[in-house]
Chain A
């Protein structure tokens, strides 16, 4: 079974790379649910489900599982935010944002880990699940921002703005679940460590982003155009990367892999 579930992993990576190759090669896109990306997503879902059953815990612990779940949520976001019309153009950059973390996961150790006592709680899966859902949606945001910067378009702008709101919502839910978990595990819903602080930085970033358009520009306050909003939406992906990978890999924290 362990071998089989890794076969599913490699197949989904292959499908994602195929989608990215077709997109970059300029091959006309297939209908959404007949695309290589969709095939990859289905294989990926089977892989994660099987791994969950094999390890007995949500497949979200350690670097390998984090990266592959990140890739999965990015792929999922393609079907939530870039399904129709001009937003399909975002598949070109997004397929790369899906393939990269999955390829990264392919390079690290894939052994099953037993359930650490600290992870033995439903708040583990909800905290990490919601956070990664937000991260995946931010990936769609970057892809949509990229399309908007090059081609513009009302539909793309709306999808991009919606991705910021929905990603922010999912991430907020993830933070709430993390607070509840921390309280039951450590007796404190909040501690001042780099991961928590960077989560707040990411949260504040999107809080500012979603509010800036409500200010009418005037003396002493610069205007805020749609281009700037989309640019900031795309840049949010990199703030997220700093939070997700930067802190866990570079700084000492409760969230190191």
Chain B
């Protein structure tokens, strides 16, 4: 049992696993992943393809052996932490508070001097100085030898375990997300709604449990220095509504980097496109000018107007005779020959010249869009964020704080004076601590009883 534990708690295993993961990952970037077989046949012989396929190298990041590596690494990391943490806790809870000879020899920073007076009197003075420089000292009186010990930044010892734990937490969050969540993609035409989305990497669809409606999609473009629109998109946006039991419960304009979230399901602006071809927006007015009905004409499609006739959109010009956009329509009334005439958008009253009971006005072309939404449910994402936060905290603690310890030993010397030994150690940034140690030494030496 011990052997198994030691195997999983070993740093050598960790390093071996990391190297295997890194090297195999590189292979995965050289062999393009998840391509159709025809594409691989252009580059490799059939025999090579069989070997690569057997090793799952065409989809290696989801292969059993790569997942096994990830799981092994996570177990290894957890075991390393569980193995070492109790030892560190023990060391931290029972610090070496007296400076014996063995410890003195093991420390790089040691200063020695002699003082007239008694050990007790100096101990009191030195305690004050050490308290100022490091922290509240612990004074141990061993018959006639007095030990002073002070430490700070003990949390530094735990930084590395916080960091390692954070990686395990991130993996756990990733597993939760993969098992319990899904990713999908859906197109919604303006004005329409969906209740379910097709899930990526499968034939299943996921039921949302509510309806999402795209009220509107729009794309805006940057303008150049003359105020003309460029081809450079500035913003893609969808106006989305969440509908539960026929009631709108949430509404949000989503843009890239600012998704909508409802019941743990996220909707991301991903793409867009034109839904069908453009329609011409035409209004029918009575002779007094009051609108009777609004029509959406598709090119070449006859639309009936009961009791009046049929109207067909025939042609559209962006700039008709220099007066801007205009629509050419054909009007067929029973008992009279078809009439064809232009409806300029900028002159809505122009059709009055036909002197009919009704006249048309053209309000412009309308293009319906669909919005392409990335849909994701990831119940593990907050666990991953917690792991990320912990990782940053762990790294700051591990690399940017230092456990600093200072010992002072006062022993009565045979010549009637006091032998003073000052020693120090720091786990990080030793250069800075050396300077600090020098200063403490100078301070102690210059203190007078």
Contacts and interface: CB of A to CB of B under 8 A. Distances in A.
Contacts of A158: 430-431
Which of B25, B257, B399 is the most central at the interface, judged by chain A CB atoms within 10 Å of its CB?
B257
A194 B396 CA distance: 29
Given A173-B392, A184-B257, A201-B25, A221 B376 contact: no
A45 interface: no
Contacts of A207: 18
A126 to B, nearest CB: 11
B399 A166 contact: yes
A25 to B, nearest CB: 31
B7 interface: no
B63 to A, nearest CB: 12
A34 interface: no
Contacts of B255: 117, 120
Interface string A200-216: 11001101100110110
Interface in A203-245: 204-205, 207-208, 211-212, 214-215, 221
A172 interface: yes
B256 A118 contact: yes
Contacts of B135: none
Contact of A204 (B11, B18, B378): B18
B194 interface: no
Interface of A: 114-118, 120-121, 123, 155, 158, 162, 165-166, 169, 172-173, 176, 179-181, 183-190, 192, 194, 197-198, 200-201, 204-205, 207-208, 211-212, 214-215, 221, 247, 251-252
A207 B395 CA distance: 12
Given A118-B257, A165-B399, A251-B29, A185 B11 contact: no
Contact of B256 (A120, A176, A183): A120
A208 B399 contact: no
Interface stretch (B231-239, B244-252, B300-308, B360-368): B231-239
B381 A211 contact: no
A204 B399 contact: no
Contacts of A162: 429
Contact of A212 (B15, B29, B257, B270): B15
11 contacts: A120-B255, A169-B396, A169-B399, A173-B395, A179-B384, A185-B256, A186-B268, A187-B268, A198-B26, A201-B25, A207-B18
Contacts of B222: 114
Nearest to A85: B431
B25 A211 contact: no
B19 A187 contact: no
B283 interface: no
A184 B21 contact: no
